[in-house]
Amino acid sequence: MSLEIPHRAKANGATASTKAVILVGGPSRGTRFRPLSLDLPKPLFEVAGHPIIWHCLTAIAKVPHIQEVCMIGYYDESVFRDFIKDSSKEFPQIKIVYLREYQALGTAGGLYHFRDAILKGRPERFFVLNADVCCSFPLNDMLKLFEDKDAEAVILGTRVTEDAASNFGCIVSDAHSKRVLHYVEKPESHISNLINCGVYLFSTDSIFPSIRSAIKKRTDRPRLLSYPSSENLESSFFQDDDEESKNSEVLRLEQDILSDMADSKQFYVHETKDFWRQIKTAGSAVPANALYLQKAWQSGSSELAAPSANILPPVFIHPTATVDPTAKIGPNVSIGPRVTVGPGVRIKEAIVLEDSEIKHDSCVLYSIIGWNSRVGAWARVEGTPTPVNSHTTSIVKNGVKVQSITILGKECGVGDEVRVQNCVCLPFKELKRDVANEVIM
Ligand code: GDD
């Protein structure tokens, strides 16, 4: 009879230690999140009442025995100081550190540059989460698959439509064993509709040697082409040049490492049937807000507003906001600190950011109202709903691609009785006439 020792369990019976890394990017990324990222780094933007990276951290905190989370990016150190201070109080069992790249090093370059920090304390494996995804982060299920298969890497996958698949990393796997057989980043032709969710679990023994051999390959055979990133795949009005794709030191997990891993390593995929979205454009914060609110509602979160005749759940209202009892709010609405909502207002599928004022009898639908903005009486600020399972927030109106979600940047004003429809409005604009399908600069 053979005695089976659980995979990866240490000989002395102690639990294998696990860390987590959140890839937060830097100021040259997230350009499609403008105009909102003009005033706040995207990872700190609040959906469902909390910064985007708080949702990652909360999921990590549910994995037993994780004691350290490294946020890796190339924003200035000061950017995450308050977030780390607040989160350290909220998750006292976890040490949270920010590791700053001296320049954009790519999704694998940052991991490799900070390998000593990641390896400190000798973790046997670590999660890597792209900060710009919204999902239920089934990390414990990934951990279970990792242990069951004695894996070197596990990737989180989800099914999308064939049309959408080529915007992501595509995975071909063995349905029975769940082994990844083939991986292609943003392929030109269709190979699979199982895509990379941007969440991984790597064995420390395996990932760093894989990155090292990718560096060696690079030195032996320098790359001629720039990388496809979704930042340069989908042209956008708000887009800058992708500085990272010009930087020859950049190493990307997706193109440089994962394809080779599929050939040679114990690489598995955990397919989630739960929700998953990218948070790329500013408009995509609205579906992310809705999905996280629904998750909070299902888990009975006490943070949400109590349902009533005028509160259609799920709704988050910050305790410092003032909402008139005759205003009808929800579903899927977040109202930020010190916001004032007047009588007779209707708000649905929207985010209203702090210090804004929504005057009486106005209507805000499928929209984001920027910090300190004002929506006049009887005004309408509205976007267009997109299909629930859609992975894009742009729609075609009169032959032109526009945002389905209306976004007002910081300190915008919408006059009384003015209608704003499918517009993106840069900060400090005063809208005194009706506008539709425009970028207001
Ligand atoms: N620290 C650091 N340094 N983070 C980075 C860097 C960098 O140089 N470059 C990107 N990131 C972070 C971004 O902030 C984001 O959280 C994540 O890494 C991935 O960003 P992109 O490189 O823009 O990739 P993508 O979003 O186009 O595609 C990736 O994610 C998809 C899922 O959302 C790929 O992994 C796809 O395969 C995947 O489907």
Whether the bond between 331 and the residue before it is cis, its omega within 30 degrees of 0, is yes
Q: Whose CA is nearest to atom 20 of ligand 1?
A: 130
- Of 245, 278, 311, which residue is a domain's last? 278
Q: 3-class SS at 389?
A: coil
User: Based on the structure, what is the number of domains in the chain?
Assistant: 2
Ligand 1 centroid distance, CA of 257 (Å): 14
Is residue 66 in some structural domain? yes
Q: Which pLDDT score is estimated for 6?
A: 41
pLDDT at 14 over 60: no
386 pLDDT above the threshold of 90: no
Contact 100, 86 (CB under 8 A): no
User: Relative to the CA of 106, which ligand 1 atom is closest?
Assistant: 8
Cα dist. 86→57, 90, 237, 338 in Å?
12, 6, 35, 20
Q: Give the span between the Cα atoms of 268 and 201, in whole angstroms.
A: 10
Q: What is the C-alpha to C-alpha distance for residues 245 and 227, in angstroms, rounded to an integer? A: 6
Give pLDDT, residue 265: 76
The pLDDT tens digits for 49-106 are: 999 999 999 999 999 989 899 999 999 999 999 999 999 999 999 999 999 999 999 9
Distance CA 403, CA 392 (A): 9
Based on the domain organization, do 183 and 36 belong to the same domain? yes
In a domain, 12, yes or no: no
Return the structure tokens found at 426: 């840069």
* pLDDT surpassing 80 at residue 399: no
Residue 104 is assigned to a structural domain of this protein: yes
Q: Are residues 147 and 268 in the same domain?
A: yes
Tens of pLDDT, residues 129-176: 999 999 999 999 999 999 999 999 999 999 999 989 999 999 999 999
- For ligand 1, the distance from its centroid to the CA atom of residue 254, given in whole angstroms, is 9
Instruction: Answer yes or no: is pLDDT of 11 > 50.
Output: no
Q: Has residue 412 got a pLDDT over 90?
A: yes
By residue range, what is the domain housing residue 375?
299-440
Instruction: Judge if 305 and 384 occupy the same domain.
Output: yes
Give the separation between CA 432 and CA 430, rounded to whole angstroms: 6
Q: Which two tokens stand for residue 42?
A: 């995207």
133 within ligand 1 shell (Cβ under 6 A):
yes
pLDDT at 39: 78
* Residue 239 shares a structural domain with residue 90: yes
Average pLDDT over residues 350-379: 97
3-class SS letters over 192-257? CCEEEEEEEEEEHHHHHHHHHHHHHHHHHCCCCCCCCCHHHHCCCCCCCCCHHHHCCCCCCHHHHH
Q: What are the pLDDT digits (tens) for 167-209?
A: 999 999 999 999 999 999 999 999 999 999 999 999 999 999 9
Q: Is residue 345 situated within a structural domain?
A: yes
- Collapsing DSSP to helix, strand or coil, 106 comes out as helix
Q: Atom of ligand 1 at shortest distance to CA of 186? A: 37
pTM (whole model) above 0.95: no
In this structure, the answer to whether residues 350 and 263 fall within a common structural domain is no
Residues in CB range of 325: below 8 A, 6 or more apart: 310
Residues 260, 339 share a domain: no
For 28-53, the pLDDT digits (tens) are 766 788 888 777 899 999 999 999 99
Determine the average pLDDT of the residues in 323-336. Answer: 97
DSSP string, 242-266: -HHHH-TT---IIIIIIHHHHHHS-
Q: For the domain that residue 61 is a member of, what is the CATH number?
A: 3.90.550.10
Tell whether 283 is covered by a domain: no
**pLDDT tens-digit map of 229-255:** 554 434 344 444 444 444 567 899 998
Sign of CA dihedral 165, 385, 352, 236: positive
Q: Are residues 385 and 347 in the same domain?
A: yes
- What is the sign, positive or negative, of the torsion defined by CA atoms of 273, 279, 280, 282? positive
* Joined tokens for residue 167: 């915007």
Whether 81 and 122 share a structural domain: yes
Domain for residue 35, yes or no?
Answer: yes
pLDDT of 161: 92
Question: What is the 107 CA–ligand 1 centroid distance (Å)?
Answer: 6
Q: CB–CB of 238/402 below 8 Å?
A: no
**Residue 370 scores a pLDDT above 90:** yes
CA-nearest residue, atom 7 of ligand 1: 106
Confidence at residue 108, expressed as pLDDT on a 0 to 100 scale: 95
In the Cβ-directed half-sphere of 8, how many Cα atoms lie within 13 Å? 22
Using the mean position of ligand 1's atoms as its centre, give its distance from the Cα of residue 130 in Å.
Answer: 6
Residue carrying the six token digits 């993106």 = 424
For residues 109 and 66, membership in a common domain is answered with yes
Parallel, antiparallel or unpaired: strands 169-173 and 180-185: antiparallel
| CATH code of the domain covering residue 303 | 2.160.10.10
Residues 6+ apart with CB under 8 A from 276: 133, 134, 135, 136, 158, 197
Q: Each residue of 302-328: pLDDT tens digit? A: 999 999 999 999 999 999 999 999 999
Residue whose CA is closest, atom 8 of ligand 1? 106
CA 336 to centroid of chain Cα atoms: 20
Q: What is the pLDDT of residue 389?
A: 74
Atom index in ligand 1 nearest the CA of residue 280 equals: 26
Q: What's the pLDDT at 40?
A: 87
Residues 334 and 220 in one domain: no
10 domain residue, yes or no: no
H or E, element range at 82? helix 81-90
Of 241-255, 273-287, 307-321, 410-424, least confident by mean pLDDT is 241-255
pLDDT > 90? residue 2: no
Element (H, E) at 117: helix 115-119
Q: Is the CB of 244 under 6 A from ligand 1?
A: yes
pLDDT score of 362 more than 50:
yes
Do residues 19 and 123 touch, judged by C-beta distance below 8 A? yes
- pLDDT of 258 reads 94
Last residue of a domain, one of 278, 309, 325: 278
**What mean pLDDT is predicted for residues 272-286?**
93
Arithmetic mean of pLDDT, 415-440: 94
Determine which residue's CA is closest to atom 17 belonging to ligand 1.
130
pLDDT of 222 reads 60
Same domain, 304 and 272: no
Interatomic CA distance for residues 25 and 27, integer angstroms: 7
Q: What is the pLDDT of residue 262?
A: 87
| Contact partners, residue 257, CB within 8 Å, separation at least 6 | 108, 207, 210, 211, 214, 251
Rounded Cα distance between 17 and 1, Å, is: 30
Nearest CA to ligand 1 atom 9: 106
pLDDT of residue 7: 44
The last residue of one of the domains, among 278, 312, 334, is: 278
* Between 145 and 389, the higher pLDDT residue: 145
Q: Are residues 51 and 175 in the same domain?
A: yes
Helix (H) or strand (E) holding 398: none
Residue 69 lies in a domain: yes
Residue 120 CB: number of other CB atoms within 10 A?
Answer: 13
Ligand 1 mean position, distance from CA 133 (Å): 9
Tens-digit pLDDT profile for residues 346-361: 999 999 999 999 999 9
CB 323 within 8 A of CB 360: no
The answer to whether 191 touches 170, Cβ cutoff 8 Å, is yes
Q: Which amino acid is at 137?
A: F
The span from the CA of 152 to the CA of 201, in Å, is 8
Q: Ligand 1: does its nearest atom lie under 6 Å from the Cβ of 278?
A: yes
Asked whether the predicted pLDDT for residue 223 surpasses 80, the reply is no
Q: Check residue 237 and give its pLDDT.
A: 42
Per-residue confidence (pLDDT) for residue 32, from 0 to 100: 83
Q: Is 105 in the pocket of ligand 1 (CB under 6 A)?
A: yes
Pocket test for ligand 1, best of 24, 29, 113 (most atoms within 8 A of CB): 29
CA–centroid distance, 340 to ligand 1, in Å, is 36
